[in-house]
Amino acid sequence: MNVSIEKSMGVVLTAIVLLSGLSACAPLVVGGSVMTGMVAVDRRTTGIQLEDEGIELRTAQGLRQNLGENAHVNVTSYNRQVLLTGEVATAAQKDTADKLAQSQENVKAVANELTVQAVSSLTQRSKDIIITGQLKAFFVDAKDLQSNAFKVVTENGVVYLMGRVTSREAQRATDIARSVSGVTKVVRVLDIISEEELKRLSAQTTAK
Total of domains in the chain:
1
In this prediction, residue 93 carries a pLDDT of: 97
Within a domain: 103: yes
pLDDT over threshold 90, residue 1: no
pLDDT over threshold 80, residue 39: no
Indicate the pLDDT class of residue 8, thresholds 50, 70 and 90: very low
Within a domain: 129: yes
In this prediction, residue 204 carries a pLDDT of: 78
In this prediction, residue 165 carries a pLDDT of: 97
Within a domain: 204: no
- 26 compared with 159, residue with greater pLDDT: 159
How distant, in Å, are the alpha carbons of 82, 102, 191 from that of 58? 12, 12, 23
Q: Taking residues 65-73, what's their average pLDDT?
A: 89
Q: Which structural domain range is residue 94 located in?
A: 2-199
Report the DSSP beta bridge partners of residue 99. Answer: none
Yes or no: say if 32 and 7 are a contact pair by the CB < 8 Å rule.
yes
How distant, in Å, are the alpha carbons of 85, 109, 113 from that of 165? 21, 17, 21
In this prediction, residue 201 carries a pLDDT of: 87
Within a domain: 205: no
Within a domain: 207: no
Yes or no: say if 63 and 100 are a contact pair by the CB < 8 Å rule.
yes
Q: Taking residues 16-44, what's their average pLDDT?
A: 46
Question: What confidence tens digit (pLDDT) does each residue in 148-158 have?
Answer: 999 999 999 99
CA 156, CA 183: separation in Å to the nearest integer?
9
Within a domain: 30: yes
Within a domain: 133: yes
